C-alpha cells in the first residue's frame, strides 16, 4: 500500500490544513490524454512499459489495433495494487530514458501515478524541467501545474526556482501553477507571494500581487498582511492588483477591509482610488469610522472620489449635521455639479425654501364629505330645542334692514 501524502510547511514542519475538503480534485484531469493505453489488459502493462515486448496487438474485444511501449507507460497507473512498487521502479527508469518520447510518456502519467506512490518523483520532475529537449520541458511544465496543487510542499523548491526563471515561458507556467496551488492551499500561496513581493524584480512583484485575489477570502491574517504591504508598494501596478482584493475583503472581513481602504484612500494612482471607491460603497455606512472616512474623501483632490463621497452624504448624515457638513464642503468645492449638489444639501427647505417648497411640509387638510356634512347639519337641527330654530331664523337680519 502507498503511504498517504501529508502536506507540511517546510519551515515549521506543521501540517498544512487544506481549507476546502468537500471538493475533491477531479482525478480525470491528472490522467494522460485519451488513447489506446486505456484498452491495454492490466496484466500486460508492466511487460509493455518495461520494454520486454515492443508492441502488443489488442484483441477485438479491446478495440483491436496495436500498442507500443509509450502506451504501456501511460497505463502504469492502472496496474494492480501489488504491482505498484514495480510500476514505480519502471516509471523512474523511463523518466531518465534516452528516448524523448519515452520521457514524455513518463511525465504524462506522473500526476495520476503520484497518487499511488510519489516517492522521488519530484526529483525527476525537477530534472525534466531542465531537459535539453524543448518538448520534454513543455510537458514537464504541464506536469508541474497538475502536481503542485496536490503536493505543495513537495513542489515548493521546484516552483520557487521556476518562478524566478529567466525563460518567460517557464516563468509564466510557474505562475499558473502557483495560482492553482493558491486556490487549493492558501497557506502555500501566501508563502510564495510573501517572498515574491519582497523581490527587487518588479515583474515578480506584479505577477505575485495578481495572485492575491485567490487568497483574499481564505488567506487569513497572512493574506491580509500581504495585501496591505502590496498596497504600499512603490510600483503602481502592484498597488492596483492589491486594491482589486478590497471588494472581496469587504464581504469576508469587513473590519480588515475598512483599515486597508482608509490607508489607500489617498493613493496617487487613479485606478487604485477607483477600487477603493467600489469597496467603500460596500462597507457599513452607519459606522462612525466609515462616516469620517467618507467626509475625508469628500475633500480629496480626485474628482471621482469626491463625487462618490458627496453622493453618500445624505445616507450617512441627517439634519443639522448634514447641512453643516455640506455647507463646509461647499466653501472649497469648485466643480459646478458638486456645488449644486452641496447647495441643495446645505439648505433647510422647510425653513429657507420657497413658499411652494415650504407647503410640501404642511399636513394636508382633510376633505369633508358632502353627505357627511348634510347629516351633520341635520343632527344639529334635531339637537336644538323645539322652536329654537325658528327663533334663530327670526333673529337673522332681513335684507331690507341691512340697506
Query: Distance between CA atoms of 41 and 44, rounded to whole angstroms?
Result: 5
Selection from 280, 290, 276 nearest residue 227 by Cα: 276
Residue 1 has a pLDDT of 40
Residue 24 has a pLDDT of 44
Selection from 150, 114, 144, 151 nearest residue 127 by Cα: 144
Q: Is 402 helix (H, G, I), strand (E, B) or coil?
A: helix
Residue with C-alpha cell 531537459? 131
- Cβ atoms of 335 and 306 within 8 Å: the answer is yes
Q: Is 145 helix (H, G, I), strand (E, B) or coil?
A: helix
Query: Distance between CA atoms of 179 and 182, rounded to whole angstroms?
Result: 5
Residue 379 has a pLDDT of 54
Which of these CATH numbers, 3.40.50.300, 1.25.10.10, 3.40.50.720, 3.30.365.10, describes 26-148?
1.25.10.10
Residue 315 has a pLDDT of 87
**Cα–Cα distances in Å, from 305 out to 46, 268, 315, 333?**
68, 12, 16, 13
Give 256-286 pLDDT, tens digit per residue: 999 999 999 989 999 999 999 999 989 888 8
Residue 22 has a pLDDT of 34
Contacts of 220 (CB under 8 A, 6+ apart): 186
Residue 278 has a pLDDT of 92
**Cα–Cα distances in Å, from 1 out to 82, 119, 200?**
8, 13, 46
pTM of the full structure: 0.76
Residue 29 has a pLDDT of 86
Residue 118 has a pLDDT of 92
Residues of the chain with pLDDT under 70: 1-26, 348-403
Give 44-100 pLDDT, tens digit per residue: 999 999 998 889 988 888 888 899 999 999 999 999 999 999 999 999 999 999 999
Query: Distance between CA atoms of 198 and 233, rounded to whole angstroms?
Result: 10
- Cβ atoms of 62 and 41 within 8 Å: the answer is yes
Query: Distance between CA atoms of 24 and 42, rounded to whole angstroms?
Result: 26
Selection from 110, 105, 146 nearest residue 125 by Cα: 110
DSSP for residue 132: S
- Residue 212: Cβ within 10 Å count: 26
**Cα–Cα distances in Å, from 231 out to 26, 214, 262?**
36, 16, 11
How is 4-46 classified by DSSP, letter by letter?
Answer: PP--B-TTT-PBPPPS--SS---GGGGSPPSSGGGGS-GGGHH
Amino acid at each position: 500500500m502507498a503511504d498517504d501524502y501529508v502536506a507540511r510547511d517546510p519551515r515549521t514542519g506543521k501540517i498544512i490544513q487544506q481549507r476546502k475538503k468537500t471538493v475533491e480534485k477531479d482525478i480525470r484531469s491528472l490522467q494522460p490524454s485519451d488513447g489506446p493505453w486505456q484498452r491495454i489488459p492490466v496484466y500486460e502493462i508492466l511487460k509493455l512499459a518495461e520494454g520486454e515486448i515492443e508492441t502488443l496487438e489488442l484483441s477485438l474485444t479491446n478495440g483491436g489495433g496495436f500498442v507500443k511501449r509509450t502506451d504501456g507507460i501511460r497505463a502504469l497507473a492502472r496496474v494492480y495494487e501489488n504491482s505498484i512498487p514495480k510500476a514505480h521502479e519502471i516509471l523512474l527508469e523511463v523518466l531518465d530514458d534516452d528516448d524523448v518520447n519515452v520521457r514524455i510518456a513518463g511525465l504524462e502519467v506522473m500526476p495520476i501515478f503520484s497518487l499511488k506512490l510519489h516517492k522521488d518523483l519530484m526529483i525527476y520532475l525537477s530534472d525534466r524541467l531542465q531537459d535539453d529537449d524543448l518538448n520534454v520541458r513543455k510537458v514537464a511544465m504541464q506536469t508541474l501545474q497538475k502536481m503542485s496543487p496536490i503536493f505543495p510542499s513537495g513542489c515548493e523548491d521546484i516552483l520557487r526556482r521556476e518562478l524566478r526563471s529567466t525563460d518567460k515561458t517557464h516563468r509564466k507556467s510557474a505562475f499558473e501553477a502557483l495560482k492553482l496551488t493558491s486556490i487549493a492551499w492558501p497557506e502555500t500561496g501566501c508563502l510564495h507571494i510573501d517572498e515574491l513581493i519582497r523581490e527587487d524584480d518588479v515583474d515578480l512583484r506584479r505577477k505575485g500581487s495578481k495572485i492575491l485575489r485567490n487568497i483574499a477570502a481564505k488567506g487569513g491574517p497572512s493574506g491580509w498582511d500581504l495585501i496591505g504591504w502590496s498596497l504600499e508598494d512603490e510600483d503602481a501596478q502592484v498597488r492596483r492588483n492589491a486594491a482589486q482584493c478590497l471588494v472581496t475583503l469587504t464581504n469576508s472581513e469587513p473590519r480588515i477591509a475598512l483599515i486597508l481602504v482608509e490607508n489607500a484612500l489617498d493613493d496617487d494612482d487613479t485606478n487604485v482610488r477607483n477600487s477603493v471607491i467600489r469597496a467603500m460603497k460596500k462597507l457599513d455606512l452607519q459606522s462612525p469610522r466609515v462616516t469620517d472616512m467618507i467626509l475625508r474623501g469628500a475633500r480629496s483632490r480626485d474628482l471621482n472620489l469626491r463625487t462618490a463621497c458627496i453622493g453618500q452624504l445624505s445616507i450617512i448624515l441627517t439634519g443639522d449635521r448634514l447641512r453643516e457638513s455640506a455647507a463646509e464642503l461647499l466653501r472649497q468645492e469648485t466643480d459646478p455639479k458638486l456645488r449644486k449638489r452641496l447647495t441643495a444639501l446645505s439648505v433647510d427647505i422647510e425653513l429657507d425654501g420657497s413658499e411652494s417648497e415650504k407647503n410640501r411640509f404642511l399636513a394636508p387638510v382633510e376633505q369633508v364629505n358632502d353627505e357627511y356634512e348634510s347629516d351633520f347639519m341635520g343632527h344639529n337641527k334635531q339637537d336644538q330645542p323645539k322652536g329654537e330654530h325658528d327663533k334663530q331664523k327670526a333673529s337673522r337680519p332681513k335684507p331690507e334692514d341691512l340697506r
